């Protein structure tokens, strides 16, 4: 991202069950310069979250690539859970949550840039076509996350209750935008286990794609 940063998000979030509809506000402080290059900043994005119980600084991940936000911009937001339904949008949000878990505990050999670009590609694949930072590793991470997001055992385990979608209700400049964060302190062992499994799946997929 530039910090002006871009995201595309469906205006109607199908299948997302609202956790709490609060009059909270979210203000972008800054993003993180991508060590791999490019004009787009990557996770972590620092936000100030103001709620009825006070203000706090939270690190969130932006879900998409092609709409700009600026440091200091503020939104009214609602906090919603990750959907567990069967629609394609539900699947995409679960893949986003899986990639967010990955970026919290990056496996060996996987960069934050690769995970961030994989995240952006879930909703915006056409916008990343031809982008050199959306490389083979990022594509494999995205495919692997989408496959894992369809795992009914993972859905039934309650794994996705660890995450929260932050959905702005007002954006006069470039349309609605969404972010993801943790709803509660995730169990490190769960995240590491998932990360290890995804890396193993990604490795097998990489070998298959390279051979074909």
Q: What is the pLDDT of residue 9?
A: 33
pTM for the predicted model, two decimal places: 0.77
Return the H-helix or E-strand segment holding 137: helix 136-149
Could you give the CA distance from residue 98 to residue 77 in angstroms, rounded to a whole number?
A: 22
**For the segment 184-194, what is each residue's pLDDT rounded down to a tens digit?**
444 444 554 55
Q: What is the pLDDT of residue 174?
A: 55
Strand bridging mode 42-51 / 18-32: antiparallel
Of the pLDDT bands very low, low, confident and very high (cuts 50, 70, 90), residue 204 is: low
**Rounded to 10 degrees, what is the CA torsion of 162, 2, 113, 47?**
-20
Lowest mean pLDDT of 59-63, 67-71, 197-201, name the range. Answer: 197-201
Q: What percent of the chain has pLDDT over 90?
A: 59
Could you give the CA distance from residue 147 to residue 122 in angstroms, rounded to a whole number?
A: 12
Higher pLDDT, 96 or 190: 96
């Amino acid at each position: 991202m530039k910090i002006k940063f871009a995201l595309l998000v469906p205006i109607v979030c199908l299948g997302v069950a609202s956790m709490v509809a609060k009059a909270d506000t979210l203000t972008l402080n800054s993003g993180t310069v991508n060590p791999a290059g490019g004009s787009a900043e990557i996770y972590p994005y620092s936000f100030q979250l103001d709620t009825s119980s006070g203000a706090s600084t939270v690190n969130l991940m932006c879900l998409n690539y092609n709409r700009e936000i600026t440091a200091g911009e503020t939104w009214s937001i609602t906090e919603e859970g990750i959907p567990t339904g069967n629609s394609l949008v539900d699947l995409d949000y679960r893949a986003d949550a899986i990639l967010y878990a990955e970026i919290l505990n990056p496996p060996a050999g996987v960069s934050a840039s690769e995970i961030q670009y994989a995240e952006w590609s879930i909703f915006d694949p056409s916008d990343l076509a031809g982008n050199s930072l959306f490389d083979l590793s990022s594509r494999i991470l995205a495919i692997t996350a989408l496959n894992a997001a369809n795992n009914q055992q993972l859905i039934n385990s309650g794994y996705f209750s660890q995450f929260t979608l932050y959905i702005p209700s007002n954006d006069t400049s470039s349309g609605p935008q969404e972010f993801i964060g943790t709803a509660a302190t995730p169990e490190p062992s769960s995240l590491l286990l998932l990360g290890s499994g995804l890396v193993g799946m990604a490795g097998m997929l990489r070998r298959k794609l390279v051979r074909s």
